[in-house]
Chain A
Amino acid sequence: MVETTNISVEKIWKILETVTDPEVPVLSIIDLGIIRDVKSKRDEIEIFLTPTYSGCPATDAINMNIRMGLLENGFSKIKITQQLSPPWTTDWMTEKGKQKLKAYGIAPPHSKQIVCSPDSFQKEEAIQCPQCNSYSTRLISHFGSTACKALYQCNDCKEPFDYFKCH
């Protein structure tokens, strides 16, 4: 049996670091910034999770992976509470997470949050190509392979790439 004092909360955070986002497997859910809190009460662990997008199909998979990870480490009473407010923002992604994204070939979200507005044909933010570091890139589509990404192309090396868009 695992002892359930405050020490276990720290241990839980360590385990959660090994749970990854199935859609962007280089990122742990800690990197993503979706774990808001971990609480332990007697032998029960409660995890507060804020989903990235309302319809993100990864959310269910992440919930299951959290359960699996904790079960493997001897924790069996697990409650995952979805916390919608305040809404998740890419500002919550860790610096380490952003570096991992770039190394993986996905342009990380801007560190200075660019407010998305409904204005049509607005001037796009300059996104750096994760391959050749050029800033001469262009938006192909605001909607990419998953809800969190937009599709860009580099004008210099011509490679298309994903941009983890500000949210």
Chain B
Amino acid sequence: MDQLINYTLFLADNALIMGHRNSEWCGHGPILEQDIAISNIALDLIGQARNFYQYAATLIGNNATEDSLAYLRDVKEYKNCLLVEQPNADWAQTVLKQFFFSTFQYYLYQQLQNNNDEQLKAIAAKALKEVTYHVRWSSEWVIRLGDGTEESKKRIVKAVDELWMFTGELFEPASYELNTNIDFIFLKENWNKRIRSIFAEATIDVPAETSWHQSGGKIGNHSEHLGFILAEMQFLQRAYPNSEW
């Protein structure tokens, strides 16, 4: 039971923190259509997070709610991978982070929709349709920037340098992922294949797979960035406990 709760929280935390990062663009997008696009993706992800938190809350019982799980847990209790908490920096880094993460979610949810846990299965099947649009949108942006101008190319290559080291963690199972029936080798293969094909179209080099990578987020060892995100996200609930929409 603990494993299932932790795994559900891991899925929720990833979606929430990525969604929160995307929401930082709301009102600041480079053009109106893209501002709307990334805000829509934020909404989808926060919606997925809610579904996972609601499920985790029923598993935990004890008066846990989606709100208490999102707003009252501390940095160390968060299980999201390090990738999603990385700062947005510029547009190149934002869309590349989205591309890495959405591609991961896409193949993960494809497996999860056949999971033997009925609720995880249902949430994943629903979310997969949304993530398909995210993969498409972020892939197109990676290609557009990579195969674009000298400046856009420079930026997307820099983004690869900054973010690649956070991708290895995605495929390194934490203890609570071991009994999930997720085939990590297949997941990684699929992910790599998609990254390679889009990078080829974008004329970007794929870094060596064996290169060193960061990890720790899945077990609560986060970068300094997550604390700042939570400080902003949780302020209201901590200052005014139990307030509701």
What is the size category of the interface that chain A forms with chain B? Answer: 20 to 34
Q: A85-B121, A147-B44 are in contact. Are A142 and B50 (CB under 8 A)?
A: no
**B33→A141 contact, CB < 8 A:** yes
Please encode chain A, from 12 to 37, with 1 for each CB lying within 8 Å of some chain B CB and 0 for all others. 00000000000000000000000000
A6 interface contact, C-beta 8 A? no
B interface, over-half SS: helix
> Which residues 57-113 of A sit at the B interface, judged by CB distance below 8 A?
57, 84-88
B81 interface contact, C-beta 8 A? no
In the complex, A147→B129 CA distance in Å?
12
**A141→B43 contact, CB < 8 A:** no
Interfacial chain A residues near B132, Cβ < 8 Å: 116-118
**B143→A54 contact, CB < 8 A:** no
| Interface contact tally, CB-CB below 8 A | 91
11 contacts between A and B (CB under 8 A): A51-B126, A54-B50, A54-B130, A57-B43, A86-B125, A121-B143, A140-B33, A143-B36, A143-B40, A144-B40, A167-B129
Minimum Cβ distance to chain B for residue A166 (Å): 10
In the complex, A53→B119 CA distance in Å?
16
Chain B count of residues within 8 A CB distance of the other chain: 38
Please encode chain A, from 105 to 134, with 1 for each CB lying within 8 Å of some chain B CB and 0 for all others. 000000000001111111000000000000
Minimum Cβ distance to chain A for residue B2 (Å): 24
**A120→B198 contact, CB < 8 A:** yes
A157 interface contact, C-beta 8 A? no
Minimum Cβ distance to chain A for residue B99 (Å): 10
Most interface-central of B42, B44, B143, B198 (chain A CB within 10 A): B44
Interfacial chain B residues near A86, Cβ < 8 Å: 125
Minimum Cβ distance to chain B for residue A117 (Å): 7
Interfacial chain B residues near A51, Cβ < 8 Å: 126
Interfacial chain B residues near A53, Cβ < 8 Å: 43-44, 47, 130
Interfacial chain A residues near B129, Cβ < 8 Å: 87, 116, 167
B186 interface contact, C-beta 8 A? no
> Which residues 114-141 of B sit at the A interface, judged by CB distance below 8 A?
118-119, 121-123, 125-127, 129-130, 132-133, 135-137, 139-140
Interfacial chain A residues near B140, Cβ < 8 Å: 120-121
**B135→A147 contact, CB < 8 A:** no
A151 interface contact, C-beta 8 A? yes
Using CB atoms, name the residue of chain B closest to A86. Answer: B125
Additional pairs, 5, CB under 8 Å, beyond known A120-B201, A143-B40, A145-B36:
A54-B126, A55-B19, A55-B50, A118-B132, A121-B143
B108 interface contact, C-beta 8 A? no
In the complex, A55→B121 CA distance in Å?
17
In the complex, A5→B41 CA distance in Å?
44
Interfacial chain B residues near A145, Cβ < 8 Å: 36
Please encode chain A, from 144 to 167, with 1 for each CB lying within 8 Å of some chain B CB and 0 for all others. 110100010000000000000001
Minimum Cβ distance to chain A for residue B239 (Å): 23
B37 interface contact, C-beta 8 A? yes
B46 interface contact, C-beta 8 A? yes
**A85→B36 contact, CB < 8 A:** no
B48 interface contact, C-beta 8 A? yes
